[in-house]
Structure 1
Amino acid sequence: MSKNIYNLLNETNVDLDEYKEQDFTNFEKIKIKKRFRKNINKHKYNKKIIVSASVVVISIGVMGTDVGVYAKEKLQEMAYDISRALGISTDLDEYKNIINKAVSKNGLEVMLNEVILNNDEIVFSTTTKRAKNDESEVASISLKNISINGKELSAFGGGGIEKVDDYTSEQVMSMTLFGLEEKELKGNVDIKITFDEAYCDNDEVIKGPWIFKFRADGSELALKTYEVTLNENFTFENGEKLELKKYTSNDLGQKIYMKANIEGEGYDVYVKGHDELGNEVSFSMGNCSMNEPILSMDNYGGKYKAKELKLKIYAASLKEEAFPSSSKYKQVGEEFTIDLNN
């Protein structure tokens, strides 16, 4: 299973059909639920470490209210340290914006610790503290919206939580942002993050909001992001098109950006192959966008020094099954090569 933050999303009981306001397509609902279910049985449970699966459509402030939390061995280190939570050994300090601002509301203090801007995503850590006479423990906090330079954005993501003691929890969340201007996060930006609710282990809901306004800079990581333009086109068996746009790599991980012309229920897509040394690599969908899928490299986080990747695309239609078996995935087109020597 991937060490990156996207694959910390595991099975949950989110009922997407109960949302009063939403712009999820059926495809996106399927993809969200599929990602929550993926690989949950492959990992051991640990009482101290939990993962909260969060689904956010920030443009309209939708947040799942039936939030499941699950033990996760990948977060055995302190969750508020972003690099550890992402499973990355690389030191990320040069990319961190230290915020350390706390807001208290209705007996709960939320502190925003650190923020990293990674081109089209935001990664941040928080600490929640309850009064010591409270008996319930905070299991997760709900992100209502994110604004960049005064513009409210849509986003998709999730995060991991660690219980520090009976009154304190620490959380890392990663959100892919939609609606950004090109290169908008590659410099100094004004950011507003609003958390609206906190969910406790005894089903108590603490109402916010906890609002944070600050400036952050993503230029350093942007400068160290290696990018390869891809010019590969594929056709699904029903005639719909898939275009590979670019490959990116930096200290937070590797991604393949695609553009699709999809109607209906869509496809689940992954990419698998090997590098020039024969090491196997794979990429799985890292967001829920049907027509602009982003695939993130599995089982790796941080610097990657391969010179060449030979890859194949596999896809399974979601028209008949929300969770296709492995036998349903068929190769799309021929093998392609990404040259990383440039």
Structure 2
Amino acid sequence: MKDIYELLNDVDVDDHEFEEMAVTEFEKAKVKSTLKKSISKKKKRMGWKMNVAVAAVVIGLSTATVGLTFPAYAGNIPIIGDIFRFLDNEKTGLYDNYKEFSTEMNLTQNSNGIKITINDAVFDGETVAITYSIESDRDLGEDLYMGSAEIKGATGSGGSSRITKIDDYHYIGLDKITPFGLTSDTIDIKWKIDSVSQTYTGEKIKGNWKFTFSLPAIDSQIQLTNQSVKKNGLTVNIDKVAFTPMSFIVHYNQRATQQVQDKWHEADIELEIKDDLGNVYSGEGNAGSGTDAYTMNWSKTFEKLDPNATKLIITPHVTFRIHDETNSGGVEFTADGKEKEIAIPVKTGVGQEEFVMEDIVIELEK
């Protein structure tokens, strides 16, 4: 997918089509941050199945900004105020419709010179996505972290957090949380923030920000599938697919034979999904749960389904991995408070092995 600047390069316009518009400081900051991101280096990956926030450094622009209107391409220009799409930077399309179906919250708390506002939130029945903005009376630095929200009644949860610096005093963020063990179609969220921290330095600014709110699940249509493929001692089963107005969610699980468990530390699965019209869908993994690294239940959210599609073709891409000191390990604390290195179990495999499984074709119910 082209980014906004590539799209504008393709536009043939007349000088008389330019129209001056008044813009806010936030809008000017958004243009600066998006421009910087378009030429920045690739973001570092911080862990398996989880992306951690990276900050955008703002470059200087003049205080006067001219807005341009392009009638034929207006739909391609990011919507000001749509934090979902802004943080996605028009790259995947996954968040194109999230703003439309989210609930506008506008909940604000001030503490220690920092104002945090919950802007929008949406619950797709599997994962809650929360956008927020931070305004401070000082530069908070970069790579911020504020802790995770709690979901009432959940037995556990997983997710990701992404905070982007707009300028010295403004930030925006997106948190995704996948709770486990819920049976209700409504979730109750409590987010108690006692500090704003820098991820790498550990520096903290203490405060007291508390948010409590509830969200109903977006209407969805569930299609049970229960289709499996097997290869090299691994079984991948697609349990069901949930379709919402803004996305679809694939629920799947994996099982490995004892031979695989004896040879490899991890069996990692990525799903490639396309439809019978040739569309390829971008997606993001949600949290997973299971008894061990070989027996897991996962879900992954993909962008909005083409309404004319009649089939989904799901292709599992598998990587068997060996863990070593560069990608695993750690320490634990003994009863007397001393650190003890966690030993990596010995396996017979070497490095990693990659392979592609057969397609799973799902006939879509209309």
TM-score (norm 2): 0.61
Candidates 328, 338, 356, aligned match of 1:331: 356
- Do the aligned residues in 2 keep the contact of 1:273 with 1:312 (CA within 8 Å)? yes
| Partners of 2:269 and 2:318 within 8 A in 1 | yes
Contact 1:137 1:200 in 2 (8 A): yes
The one-letter code matched in structure 2 to 1:226 is: Q
**For residues 208-227 of structure 1, what are the alpha-carbon distances to aligned partners after superposition, in whole Å with 9 as ceiling and x for unaligned?**
44221123222xx2x2x232
String of CA shifts for 1:150-206, please: whole Å, max 9, x gaps.
Answer: x3553222243343432121112212222222xx2x34x432122233125994311
SS at match of 2:316: strand
2:297 maps to 292
What does residue 265 of structure 2 align with? 265
Q: How many residues align?
A: 268
SS where residue 92 of structure 1 aligns? Answer: helix
Using the alignment, how far apart are the partners of 1:91 and 1:97 within structure 2? 10
Tell me the secondary structure at the aligned position of residue 230 of structure 1.
Answer: strand
The letter of the residue matching 1:206 is I
Asked if the contact 1:161–1:170 (Cα under 8 Å) also holds between the matched residues in 2, the reply is: yes
Q: Within 5 Å, which residues of 2 pair with 1:274-285?
A: 274-281=274-281, 285=285
Q: Provide structure 2 residue ranges, at least 5 long, that are not aligned to the other structure.
A: 4-41, 60-76, 329-351
The aligned amino acid for 1:258 is Y
Residues 91 and 212 of structure 1: is their aligned pair in 2 closer, same or farther, counting only changes over 3 Å? closer
Q: How far apart, in 2, do the equivalents of 1:190 and 1:145 lie?
A: 10
AA partner of residue 266 (structure 1): E
Partner of 2:36: none
Secondary structure, counterpart of 1:329 in structure 2: strand
* C-alpha separation in 2, matches of 1:113 and 1:247: 29
Asked if structure 1 preserves the Cα contact closer than 8 Å seen for 2:143 and 2:200, the reply is no
Q: Is the 8 A contact 1:145 1:153 kept in 2?
A: no
How big is the alpha-carbon RMSD for the aligned residues of Structure 1 and Structure 2? 3.8
CA displacement 1:130-160 (0-9 Å, x = unmatched): 22xx344464232244132xx3553222243
Letter in 1 for 2:165: K
User: What is the correspondence of 1:88-107 to structure 2 with a 5 Å cutoff?
Assistant: 88-90=95-97, 92-93=99-100, 95-107=101-113
Q: Is 2:214 the counterpart of 1:215?
A: yes
**1:244: how far off?**
1.4
SS of corresponding position for 1:292: strand
Compare 137-146 and 102-111 and name the one that shifted more: 137-146
- 5+ residue gaps, structure 1, are 4-8, 14-31, 50-74
Deviations 1:33-69 (A, max 9, x none): 46549xx9xxxx95249xxxxxxxxxxxxxxxxxxxx
Counterpart CA distance in 1 for 2:167 and 2:356 is 48
Q: Report whether the alignment pairs 1:109 with 2:108.
A: no
Counterpart among 195, 198, 210 of residue 196 in structure 2: 198
Change (3 A) 1:296 1:267: farther
Q: Distance in 1 between matches of 2:168 and 2:282?
A: 39
Once residues 200 and 158 of structure 1 are traced to their aligned partners in structure 2, the CA distance between those partners, rounded to angstroms, is 16
Q: Within the alignment, does 1:256 sit opposite 2:268 as a pair?
A: no
CA distance in 2, matches of 1:178, 1:159: 18
CA contact (8 A) 1:233 1:244 kept: yes
1:116–1:180 distance in 2 versus 1, CA, 3 Å? same
